[in-house]
Amino acid sequence: MLAIIESWEEEGSYYEDSTGQFLFILLLKVGLDCLVLSMCLCLLHTSFMGVCGLSVFLVDVVLVCAVAAVWFLGPARSPVSICFLLAHASAVFNALPLPMLGLGLLDYASEPCYTTCHVAPCRDLWNYALTLLVWVLAGVHSCCSAVTNLLEVEYEGGRNALGCAVQESEFVVHFSVGISVAICCVMLLHYKHLPLWLKEANRLSEQRDNVNPMLQSHLRFRYAKLQQLRGDEDEQKALAVETEWQRPPLYLSLTLDFGTTWASYLVMCIACELLGLAVPAYISINLLWLECANSVLVGLVFWLKSD
């Protein structure tokens, strides 16, 4: 895809520099990153995917500072061009998803197998080293694939423009479409039982809310005394027999939970693709996508390791 850097008319009556617009878009991305970080900051160092998310945020901040410096200095005094920054940024971010997801899956899958040398802080150092290696390899990839030369485009009506070739992350598009199709297929396989399961979920939610929570609490989870949760044993057994057939399989429960959480994000990604709105890799690879992908990895590993 082509990012328009400058545009003008042959008569000289019109000239536009798009550097400020790129800076504004990147600032919006950093703002989105800050919003995601505010919700999961305490968990970033506990896994490889968390460290990757922190590194993406730091690189986004550096990229914003670099684009802001080019904007303030101007093309004449700036040591690098805006095209150089955008081309290399898109190439670097485009190389990140596959190795990050692969190493993240291995990290979650091998977590119970860590020996004493992999406990914190050794495990944290291992995650930081792997993250740094991924970024170094992505940087090498950008040096080999990024095109930093400006391309001139002539439009009808005497309007010209200078554009920069930036890369779009096809992996993110395929990921969003593939996950959405998988969710729809799972829903179609069990569509007859979905109303009963949703009704049972609402009943259990209401039953939990009716129990007075004790003073003990941790984050979003509330605890109550065991005696308060115990009712008549015969009633509990009858309820278990009645609702056992209504209990959904684990993979369906995970799919429903993931779908209700990330449906809006997946719909937005698919809508951009259907409308032909190409998104460069340095925008589509963000903390929101990493959290979505992390949810897929955690759910997959949890399901595979369940009894």
Distance CA 199, CA 176 (A): 29
pLDDT at 87: 93
pLDDT at 246: 58
pLDDT at 74: 83
pLDDT at 12: 65
pLDDT at 236: 52
Cα atoms in the 13 Å half-sphere on the side-chain side of 194: 12
pLDDT at 284: 93
Boundaries of every domain in the chain: 2-168, 191-247
The answer on pLDDT for 62 being more than 50 is: yes
Give the pLDDT mean for 103-107: 92
Residue 119 or 306, more confident: 306
Give the model confidence (pLDDT) of 113-168 as tens digits: 544 444 456 778 888 999 999 999 999 999 988 888 888 888 777 788 888 999 99
Distance CA 306, CA 197 (A): 21
Distance CA 96, CA 59 (A): 12
The answer to whether residues 122 and 42 touch, using CB atoms and an 8 Å cutoff, is no
The answer on pLDDT for 96 being more than 80 is: yes
Give the model confidence (pLDDT) of 195-254 as tens digits: 777 776 677 667 666 654 443 333 333 333 334 444 444 455 544 545 455 567 888 888
Distance CA 91, CA 280 (A): 9
Pairing of strands 151-154, 15-17: unpaired
Distance CA 161, CA 158 (A): 10
Tell me which amino acid residue 150 is: L
> Which of 42-56, 111-125, 173-187, 224-238 is the least confident region?
224-238
* The two three-digit tokens of residue 100, written as one number: 């990050």
Give one DSSP letter per residue of the chain, joined into a string. -EEEEEEEETTSS-EEE-HHHHHHHHHHHHHHHHHHHHHHGGGGGGSHHHHHHHHHHHHHHHHHHHHHHHHHHHHHH-SS-HHHHHHHHHHHHHTSHHHHHHHHHHHHHTGGG--GGGSTTHHHHHHHHHHHHHHHHHHHHHHHH---S-EEEE-TTSEEEEEEE--B-HHHHHHHHHHHHHHHHHHHHTTTTHHHHHHHHHHHHHHHHHSPP-S-EETTEE---HHHH---HHHHHHHHHHHHTTPPPHHHHHHHHHHHHHHHHHHHHHHHHHTT---BHHHHSSHHHHHHHHHHHHHHHHHHH--
Percent of the chain with pLDDT over 90: 42
Give the pLDDT mean for 99-113: 86
Distance CA 74, CA 245 (A): 68
The answer to whether residues 87 and 164 touch, using CB atoms and an 8 Å cutoff, is yes
Cα atoms in the 13 Å half-sphere on the side-chain side of 231: 9
Tell me the pLDDT of the chain averaged across its residues. 81
At residue 107's C-alpha, the angle toward residues 105 and 108, to 5°, is 70
**Predicted structure pTM score:** 0.81
pLDDT at 219: 33
